[in-house]
């Protein structure tokens, strides 16, 4: 589905990603974890087309998408909820979802998807006419995810959906993520909370300083002494 090979990327002269390989297969949740500043968000930006990799390839369904602009990546079937609740505060919940489905053609299809998202997050339905900036943090994250799935993406990119949320809310959201995956989407989940990410994902990559330190099935990584030491110690 998604395969990244030997990708090098950065900002201007500052190289941040030093050649990584990463794969997401159909129907699985893959976690990308690592400390702050490791380059996880940068990796996501390379997939969405916000930044162009210096080297290497990003393939989605076999086609190289490394060079196409973000607004085309969206219509190619990749949905993304960016780090820090990527919503339009000046639009209502309804309008935000409509924008999430911007590339959908046909009114019926849009309605259908909207209904699906409202089913997934009934809270959003209650707030449909409300301005997004007036929602609570959890509701905003639900909206961000709702927008990302409007277009029925084959691949969903989630960048730290748990950031700044109360544990109860995080649990609710993770339930929904699992549900979205069951409905057929593949998910690349970026998360700092390694335990949480390993629990939900099938496979995981651990990124440190722009390189993949370890990767493998999540249950195995959960038993890896290095991972336990470095990331799960607090548990």
Ligand X SMILES: Nc1ncnc2c1ncn2[C@@H]1O[C@H](COP(=O)(O)OP(=O)(O)O)[C@@H](O)[C@H]1O
Say whether residue 145 binds other proteins (CB under 8 A): no
- Binding of Mg ion by 151 (CB under 5 A): no
Chain centroid to CA 54: 22
Task: Give yes or no for residue 37 binding ligand X (CB under 6 A).
Answer: yes
Q: Which is nearer to ligand X, 42 or 162 (CB)?
A: 42
Cβ 36 to Mg ion, closest distance in Å? 7
Tokens 């989407």 belong to which residue? Answer: 185
- Given the complex with Mg ion, which of 83 and 208 has the nearer CB atom? 83
**8 Å CB contact between 17 and 47:** no
Cβ-proximal residues to 216 (8 Å cutoff; 6+ apart), any chain = 203, 204
| Residue 36 binds: one of other proteins, ligand X, Mg ion, none (C-beta under 5 to 8 A by kind) | ligand X
Contact status: 87 vs other proteins (CB under 8 A): yes
Q: Exactly one of 30, 41, 153, 194 binds Mg ion (CB under 5 A); which one?
A: 41
A 10 A CB-CB count for 94 gives: 17
- The answer to whether residue 145 forms part of the interface with ligand X (CB under 6 A) is no
Could you say whether residue 40 binds ligand X (CB under 6 A)?
Answer: yes
State the nearest-atom distance from the C-beta of 94 to ligand X, in Å.
31
Residue pointed to by tokens 């380059």: 39
Binding site partner of 74, from Mg ion, other proteins, ligand X, none, Cβ cut-off 5-8 A by kind: other proteins
Q: Is residue 13 close enough to count as binding ligand X by CB under 6 A?
A: no
Residues 180 to 219 in contact with Mg ion, rule: CB under 5 A: none
Cβ-based nearer residue to ligand X, 3 or 211: 211
Tokens of 32: 């990308």
Taking CB under 8 A as the rule, does residue 91 contact other proteins?
A: yes
Which of 36, 129, 229, 234 lies at the binding interface for ligand X (CB under 6 A)?
36
188 binds, among ligand X, Mg ion, other proteins, none (CB under 5 to 8 A by kind): none
Q: Does 11 bind other proteins (CB under 8 A)?
A: no
- The contact set with other proteins (CB under 8 A) reads 48, 50, 69-75, 80, 82, 86-91, 95, 98-100, 102-103, 147, 150-151
Q: Which residues bind ligand X (CB under 6 A)?
A: 11, 14, 16, 34, 36-42
């Amino acid at each position: 589905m998604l395969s990244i090979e030997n990708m090098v990327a950065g900002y201007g002269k500052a190289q941040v990603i030093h050649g990584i390989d990463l794969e997401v297969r159909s129907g699985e949740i893959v976690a990308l974890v690592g400390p702050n500043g490791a380059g996880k968000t940068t990796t996501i930006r390379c997939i969405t087309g916000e930044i162009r990799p210096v080297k290497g390839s990003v393939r989605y369904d076999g086609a190289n998408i490394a060079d196409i602009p973000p607004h085309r990546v969206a219509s190619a079937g990749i949905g993304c909820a960016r780090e820090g609740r990527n919503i339009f505060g000046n639009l209502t919940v309804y309008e935000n979802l409509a924008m999430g489905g911007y590339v959908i053609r046909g009114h019926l299809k849009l309605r259908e998807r909207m209904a699906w998202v409202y089913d997934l997050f009934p809270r959003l339905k209650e707030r449909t006419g409300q301005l997004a900036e007036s929602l609570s943090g959890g509701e905003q994250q639900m909206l961000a995810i709702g927008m990302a799935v409007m277009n029925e993406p084959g691949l969903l990119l989630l960048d730290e959906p748990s950031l700044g949320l109360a544990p109860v809310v995080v649990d609710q959201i993770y339930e929904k993520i699992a549900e979205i995956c069951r409905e057929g989407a593949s998910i690349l989940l970026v998360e700092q909370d390694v335990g949480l990410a390993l629990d939900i994902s099938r496979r995981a990559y651990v990124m440190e300083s722009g390189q993949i330190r370890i990767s493998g099935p999540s249950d195995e990584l959960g038993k890896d002494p290095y991972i336990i030491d470095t990331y799960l110690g607090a548990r």
